Amino acid sequence: MKRHAVYLLLLLALSGAVGNTLYRQHRAQRQLNAQLLEMSDLLLSENADAEQAAEGTVKSIHAAVQKNQNKPAELAVLAEAENLNIRADSLVHTLRAHTEKLLLATHNPGVLLNLSHANETEAVAQQLGSQHPAYLNLRQQLAALTDTLRKLHPHTTQRLKAPTFEGQTLAVAMATLAELESEVRTAEAIALRHLAAQIGASRMAEGQVALASAESNMVAPGELYRARLIWSKVLKPRPAGLQMRCNGQLIPVGADMIGRVRLVAARRPGPATWTGTIRFNQNGRDTTFQVRVPYRVVRR
C-alpha cells in the first residue's frame, strides 16, 4: 500500500509539474504575442512617417529641378525618383494588403493590439506559403525593387529578400510584414538621398527622422545582434560633427551616413530594446535625434 501511495504521489506531482509547465509556456506565448503586436504597431506608425518623408523628398527634388531650369539630365533624375517612389508605394500596398487579408481570414477587426487567434498558422500558410501565387508575386516585387535600387545606386548593399512565412503564427507574420515594409522605406530613403546629390539638392530642406533597420528582431541569448542606424534627412550633405551611438557607445558611421550597430544580446530570453542616438551640428546648433528599437531574445 505504501508503494502504491508513493506512486500516486509521484503521478500527482508529475501531473502538476506538466500542468505548471504548460501554463508557463502559454503565459510566455501570450506575452511574446503582445510584444510582437506592439512592435508591429510601432513599426507601422514609423513607416507612415517614412512614407511622408519620401513624398516630401520627391517634391523637393522636383522643386530643385525647376529652379535649375529643367536641365534634361536632372529631369531624368527626377523621373527616376518619381518611379522609385511609385514602385516603393506599390510594394508597401502589397504588404498592407496581405496584412488586411490575414486579419480578415482570422476574423480580426483590424486593430493589431486587440488581435485574436494570434497563434493561428493555417491562415498564414494558405496566404503566404512558399508556393502560393501571392508569395511568389511578393518575391518578384522585392527582387524587381532590389534591381531598381542597384541601378540607381550601384554601390548600395541594400537587398530586399522575401522572408519565410512557413509555420509562422499570425502574430509573427504581422511583425514580419511590418518589418519588411520598414526595410522597403529605408532602402527608398537611401536611394532618394543618392539621387538628390546628383542634382545638387543639398540646399533643400525637408523632414528629418532617425530610422533603424535590423537584420532580425529576434536573436538568441548571447548572440550578436546586427542593425543599421540611419539619419534620413536625405537631401543634405553629411553634417558637421555627425556621431552615432548605440546604448551610449559610439558606433562606426560610413560615408553613406549609416551607423553599423553591433551588440551582444542579453543572456536571458525576453523582450529587450536598444537606443540609437544621432548627434550633429546644424547651422551652429547641436542637434540630437533618438530612436528606441525593440527586439526579442529567444532560445533556438
pLDDT of residue 214: 61
DSSP-derived secondary structure letter, 203: G
User: What domains can be seen in the chain, in order of their start residue?
Assistant: 27-203 (no CATH), 208-300 (2.60.40.1930)
Sequence-distant contacts of 195-199: CB under 8 A, at least 24 apart: 195/61, 195/77, 195/80, 195/81, 195/84, 195/152, 196/57, 196/60, 196/61, 196/64, 196/81, 196/234, 196/235, 197/237, 198/74, 198/77, 199/61, 199/64, 199/65, 199/68, 199/74, 199/77, 199/78
Q: What digits encode the pLDDT tens for the residues 79-110?
A: 999 999 999 999 999 998 888 888 888 887 66
pLDDT of residue 2: 45
Is a pLDDT exceeding 70 seen at residue 231? no
Q: Per-residue confidence at 261, pLDDT binned at 50, 70, 90? A: confident
**Which span out of 82-86, 97-101, 130-134, 217-221 was modeled with the highest average pLDDT?**
82-86
Please state, in angstroms and rounded to a whole number, the distance separating the CA atoms of residues 185 and 181.
Answer: 6
CA distances from 244 to 128, 130, 221 (A): 37, 38, 25
Q: Report the pLDDT averaged over residues 21-25.
A: 45
Is a pLDDT exceeding 80 seen at residue 238? no
**Other beta carbons less than 10 A from residue 192's beta carbon:** 28
Please state, in angstroms and rounded to a whole number, the distance separating the CA atoms of residues 178 and 161.
Answer: 14
**Number of residues in the chain:** 300
Q: What digits encode the pLDDT tens for the residues 186-214?
A: 889 888 888 888 886 544 444 455 555 66
Q: Per-residue confidence at 18, pLDDT binned at 50, 70, 90? A: very low
- Closest among 110, 101, 115 to 32, alpha carbons compared: 115
Is a pLDDT exceeding 60 seen at residue 257? yes
pLDDT of residue 219: 65
Q: What digits encode the pLDDT tens for the residues 37-73?
A: 666 666 676 777 778 888 888 888 888 888 888 889 8
Please state, in angstroms and rounded to a whole number, the distance separating the CA atoms of residues 19 and 159.
Answer: 45
Q: What is the reported pTM? A: 0.59
Q: Report the pLDDT averaged over residues 288-295.
A: 76
